[in-house]
Structure 1
Amino acid sequence: MNPRQYRISSAGYSAAIVLEGAAVRMLTHQSRDLIVPFAPGEPMPDYRGALVAPWPNRIPDGRYSFGGLEQRVPINEPSRAAALHGLVSHAPWSLHHHDEASIRLLHILRPSEGYPFELRLEVSYTVDEAGFHTTITTTNTGEHTAPYGTCPHPYLIAGPSPLDAWHLELNASTFLDVTPDRLIPIQRKAVDGTALDYRRSRPLGGTAIDHAFTDLRPTAAGRRGVTLWDPTGTGVAMSWGDACPWVQIHTADHIIPERHRIGLAVEPMTCPPNAFNSGDDLVVLLPAMTHNAQWSIHAL
């Protein structure tokens, strides 16, 4: 077994987890890819399958204010002058438990430049007949109240057809409008009458999406989610609970041809982009407080 990769499997589902970023390197059902994989030993491209914390998406200029203090985290997306996807997406995690159908990984986030807080993050991945399940449990182990947010970063695959042919259903009535250059949030808008209304399943077509959605209508079971169908009849679904009132959808438009629109990024988020500044749905962790979030992926 590769010491940096661990496999879990059950009921036709199989996943490979790497310690870098606690990333899900591959996820299949009956040997069919449900997410865009990357090769064993390859550096994780485009945050593919990573776990994101302590903020999802971007902080413009890396600047925010919390508890009356100005902070600046390092810029890691220079093209947009932004701090992207938190601090643990490429960090080494450690193995806490592993068996045939489950794995738990641990990371201690120490105080650092612009984020002077300490968190204990534990993620569990399990597979069963209902699919692939993730739970992230985060505890503030420091002395100071900490701002926090999290999300996953899988690129879902509906089937063998091009992404433009896939049918998306996302029961969200509001999206977050952003600037076209740096994707800085401007305001919430209704999806009515826009190209971003997927409340009824329809093809993605050539629409480029890189937006956060909210006002997500849950099912009778209290779950929010998306379904993605290929014209050939295969599909994939992702669902999550109340801890994630937002979801980022991205059609993976890319300047590198072999990475262009090869999967649909679906990122259920505990807060929207730039929540460290707006405060919208921001999780505020008091010392010793714990927060849980959960999401699942299953084949259709």
Structure 2
Amino acid sequence: MNHPEYRIEGGGYTAVVLGLGAAVRELTHEGRPLVVGFAADEEMPNFRGAFVAPWPNRIADGRYSFDGSDFELPINEPERGTALHGLVFDVAWTLVEHAPSAVTLACTIRPADAYPFELSLQARFSVDGQGFRTDVTAVNTGDRRAPYGVCPHPYLVAGASPLDEWVLELPASTVLTVTPDRLLPVAKEPVAGTPFDFRSAHAIGDVQIDHAFTDLARDGAGRATVRVTDPAQGTGTAMEWDGSCPWVQIHTADLPKKPENTRLGLAVEPMTCPPDAFNTGEDLVVLEPGESHLTGWTISAV
């Protein structure tokens, strides 16, 4: 089945958003790629540009408890035994509105045994001189309260140089350590003295990152910003978001089983909650019937 895609342009930015999964297939500024994209006839590789809800990252063994009941989600990362990246990245979204510089898509999560809650999701993608903006609204349209989390999954591109040479600025003072085999949460620890301290911008080098970070430094307007730059090219890409996302997942895209795709971009994923929040409850959004949640993020050229 062919799925539609929607092109938007403005302020020097061009984006292509897919009707399948509301994935961002392409994002450029004045012709320069800001994310690792993929071809129109290609299946989305490695969750590039995916829209991730109603939970970000992993749920251990696909199992969770909520309001006294136990649930089991399908395992879609069998090598680690986890339920990964939610329920909407591979389903058709409905077009709400398409203008030259903006497109709005919608999706409803229907109650099922694994996730017996009903959510109405709406994502508005827009471009202007400030960058590429995503605004997300989630509404609990069911009759019971629902656990919820959301994040994007772009792989940012700083420039034409190898990722090891890019300079990362990540204003996070705490990292969530993970098990080496399944990447499941262990403990929150200070980044000071670890390879994950990028509060002062420096080259990524050969460090491998696939971790969530929190305790983010923010500007006077409450925004956190991650920047990745290519000093040799004089280019870069930034991503910013507000306090509705207290976490960010950073991934250097180390894919040993797919060497042709490894370390092509830096995944930067602002998250409303950390991995496995359905089990830990940490920063988990719980929507009462009729309640809504708003969040968003912006990607811009540096």
Given the two structures, how large is their TM-score scaled by the length of structure 2? 0.98
Query: How do 1:67-216 and structure 2 match up within 5 A?
Result: 67-216=67-216
Unaligned runs of 5+ in 2: none
CA distance in 1: counterparts of 2:219 and 2:237, whole angstroms:
17
- 1:204-261, Cα deviation, whole Å (9 max, x unpaired): 0000000000000101221012001002210000000111000000000012111000
Residue range with higher mean Cα deviation, 105-114 or 62-71: 105-114
Spell out, residue by residue over 1:12-45, the C-alpha distance to the aligned partner (whole angstroms, 9 max, x if none): 1000010111000000000000000000121111
Q: What does 1:1-300 align with in structure 2 at a 5 Å threshold?
A: 4-231=4-231, 232-254=233-255, 255-300=257-302
Q: Secondary structure of 1:258's match?
A: helix
| Root mean square deviation of aligned Cα | 0.8
AA in 1 matched with 2:32: R
Q: Which runs of 5+ in 1 are unaligned?
A: none
Say if 2:214 and 2:247, in contact at 8 Å, map to a contact too.
yes
AA paired with 1:209?
I
Deviation at 1:141, TM superposition (A): 0.3
CA distance in 2 between counterparts of 1:88 and 1:127 reads 23
How far residue 289 of structure 1 moved from its aligned partner, in angstroms, is 0.3
Amino acid paired to 1:159: G
AA in 2 matched with 1:246: W
Letter aligned with residue 226 of structure 1: V
Spell out, residue by residue over 1:75-133, the C-alpha distance to the aligned partner (whole angstroms, 9 max, x if none). 00000000000000111101000010000000011012310000000000000000000
Q: TM-score, normalised by structure 1?
A: 0.99
- 2:3·2:20 contact (CA, 8 Å) conserved in 1? no
Number of equivalenced pairs: 299
Indicate the percent of aligned positions where both proteins have the same amino acid: 57
- For 2:259 and 2:238, the matched residues in 1 are separated by 26
Deviant stretches of 4+, over 4 Å: none
C-alpha separation in 1, matches of 2:166 and 2:112: 42
Report if the CA contact (8 A) 1:19-1:93 is conserved: yes
